[in-house]
Amino acid sequence: MPAEAQSRAAVLTPKWLTIVGIGEDGVAGVGDEAKRLIAEAEFVFGGKRHLALVASLVKGEARAWPAPFDAEMRDVLALAGRRVCVLASGNPFFHGVGVTLARKVAVEDMRVIPAPSAFSLAASRLGWALQDVETVSLHGCPLDLIRPLLHPAIRILALTSDGDAPGAIARLMTELGFGASRLTVLEAQGGPNEGLRTARADAFDLEKINPLNVLAIEVDSTPQARILPLTAGLADHLFEHDGQITKREIRAITLSALAPRRGELLWDIGAGSGSIGIEWMLAHPSMRAIAVEADPARAARIRRNAAACGVPGLAVVKGAAPQALAGLETPAAIFIGGGGSDAGVLDGAIDALSAGGRLVANAVTLEMEALLLSRHAALGGELTRIAMSRASPVGSMQAWRPAMPVTQWSWIKP
């Protein structure tokens, strides 16, 4: 078929799936085209609340989402080619069901009519410049995700899961030293029951909060607040550890060598406290990491550190490498800590990388250093010697106390 004819055919091909964003004002906030498409649909999917809001428009079969929610969208996909409408809250492609559907349905088969997102509505109510505000969805997610955003004078909009979340966030912020922060709860935005209430985090006493709410936070902190800086090399005291931790200066250099890029997966082998994987994930919300640790106590500690640093999604595999590496998703980068000397672990990591994958291994023992020198001689890459000293008391005076030197091998798989 000629290109021009193909183009015309594509234009004429009906889009079987319609996704309509609606607000708490229901039918009143839906445009004419959206009303027509809802009415013409043979099947209309949505939450019970969504279906009730537009019940007067639905002429086909209304189907509420199953519980638990099916992220595979089997019921919708089974009707491919029929006239199907899916109802969503606000903008379906901003932390919404549209994102889930787009993984299963070609964009050419979808028609989308968005409404303002909860964040857009909140910013307009508060007079905040949305581009200058940190936004986070805590809907169905751990509240710990808010921790990395807590910096003085920052504004945050957080989409919550229920009426209890604002109080829980207030308690967490108070515990972390942000009790003076101003919290504003925006409830049922756009509907007849819309409300806006404000309280300090350390004096939060709001009750009977509507489950549909956005929490606006104006961060204020004490000098003792637990702030997670943006730079690599967090202070060691921010991690719970038993001495098995890559020290902050070495960690900063190591993360620089690992060169995180958005969306990548890291293996942190022999993770100890988990500090490398945690800081890798803190570089950007799209980053992922798997911490491999044989010691059960350390594995549990890694999970606690990940939550305390705001990256609860860090995966922890309890087991010894290289056996524990079997079946794991192929990483973009691998880090091996400095205490080992097992050639099988290093060679297993090398084999696991795809072309272009990055490996960084640190050695503090002579045996591990010899192994890295051998692999460098055979494969190339870069060798770096890192020596660090810290001032510490010697009687009534100060002197340099050297830390154990680290030999670092970094290599990119051809």
Which domains can be identified in the chain, with CATH numbers?
A: 15-115 (3.40.1010.10), 119-218 (3.30.950.10), 236-412 (3.40.50.150)
A 10 A CB-CB count for 129 gives 9
The CB-based long-range contact list for 309-312 (8 Å cut-off, 24+ gap) reads 309/147, 309/148, 309/228, 309/234, 309/238, 309/239, 309/278, 309/282, 310/144, 310/145, 310/146, 310/147, 310/148, 310/149, 310/228, 310/282, 311/144, 311/148, 311/278, 311/281, 311/282, 312/142, 312/144, 312/145
How does pLDDT run across 96-150, given as a tens digit for each residue?
A: 899 999 999 999 999 999 999 999 999 999 999 999 999 999 999 999 999 999 9
**Can you tell me whether residue 186 is helix, strand or coil?**
strand
Average pLDDT, the chain: 94
Max Cα–Cα distance, the chain, nearest Å: 89
**Can you tell me whether residue 70 is helix, strand or coil?**
coil
How does pLDDT run across 354-374, given as a tens digit for each residue?
A: 999 999 999 999 999 999 999
**Can you tell me whether residue 378 is helix, strand or coil?**
helix
Indicate the DSSP class of residue 404. Answer: P
How does pLDDT run across 288-343, given as a tens digit for each residue?
A: 999 999 999 999 999 999 999 999 999 999 999 999 999 999 999 999 986 667 88
pLDDT computed for residue 33 by the predictor: 95
Measured CA to CA, the distance from residue 340 to residue 180 in angstroms comes to 46
Across 281-294, average pLDDT: 97
How does pLDDT run across 1-47, given as a tens digit for each residue?
A: 455 544 444 444 579 999 999 999 999 999 999 999 999 999 999 99
pTM of the model: 0.89
Query: Residue 202, exposed/middle/buried by CB under 10 A (0-12, 13-18, 19+)?
Result: middle
Contact present, 101 and 65 (Cβ < 8 Å)? no
Residue 95: pLDDT band with limits 50, 70, 90 = confident
How does pLDDT run across 58-80, given as a tens digit for each residue?
A: 999 999 999 898 999 999 999 99
